[in-house]
Amino acid sequence: MLPNPIKNFVDAFARLPSIGPRQATRLAFYISNLGKAKIRELAEAIADLANLVTCSRCFRAYTPASGQDPSAGSGQAHSAGSGQVGKGGLCSICSDSTRDKSLIAVIEKETDLLSLEKTRKFNGWYLVLGELSKLGELGPEQKLRLSSLKDFIKKELSGSAEEIIIATNPTAYGDLSAVTLKKELEGNAGKITRLGRGIPTGGEIEFADEDTLGSALDRRL
């Protein structure tokens, strides 16, 4: 019943977070009525995401510097990022020598990184783990990223960071993950902390306002 272009769109977009078949169908018809120029503009914006690469240190998406081969990073395309330019296989944060590399925040999503950056109260580096299991377990990708962090700490920080902040969401699932992460990271930092409870229990870092997040950073435990 659906035209093939609509069906193909729905099949692709229904797999995205918070979309689903019904919302994808509505979105497909909405976009189809925007006109060819707007559709091309949207298509180009989506296609441009393929130019993002993943930072070899923190695993967030970034735009390579002009003239840099995208394969200088991990070579992976990624679906989100701040748009800031990095260099030498590292994003703009990891290649910034003014940041405190002995202070590391372990986060779940790149949107959490963007929210923490807006507070202007954190001048360390990050590790983006990717979406965590609701059972508090670490998947193969998370384990590889933690292993990469441990190697960095061993080689660049003489075996111990000053502080690792486990910045998971203050939810039951986030608390479970934080316990697992603390066990994994013990011995790799002088202290391992969590964000203070400026964020309400059950809330998410991504949606917290800057003042609340800043308070959570100041009162980390």
**Model confidence, pTM:** 0.76
User: Is residue 114 domain-resident?
Assistant: yes
Tell me, yes or no, whether 149 and 210 share the same domain. yes
Are residues 221 and 196 in contact, defined by beta-carbon separation less than 8 angstroms? yes
User: Is residue 38 domain-resident?
Assistant: yes
- Number of CB atoms found within 10 A of residue 109's CB: 19
Give residue-wise pLDDT tens across range 7-65: 999 999 999 988 999 999 999 999 999 999 999 999 999 999 999 999 999 999 998 87
User: Is residue 57 domain-resident?
Assistant: no
Sheet-wide strand order for 100-107: 124-128, 100-107, 161-166, 189-194
CATH number, domain containing residue 138: 3.40.1360.10
Q: Which domain holds residue 154?
A: 97-218
Q: Work out how many domains the chain is built from and give that number.
A: 2
Across the range 170-186, mean pLDDT stands at 90
Q: Which residues contact 11 (CB under 8 A, 6 or more apart)?
A: none
Lowest mean pLDDT among 33-42, 128-137, 205-214: 205-214
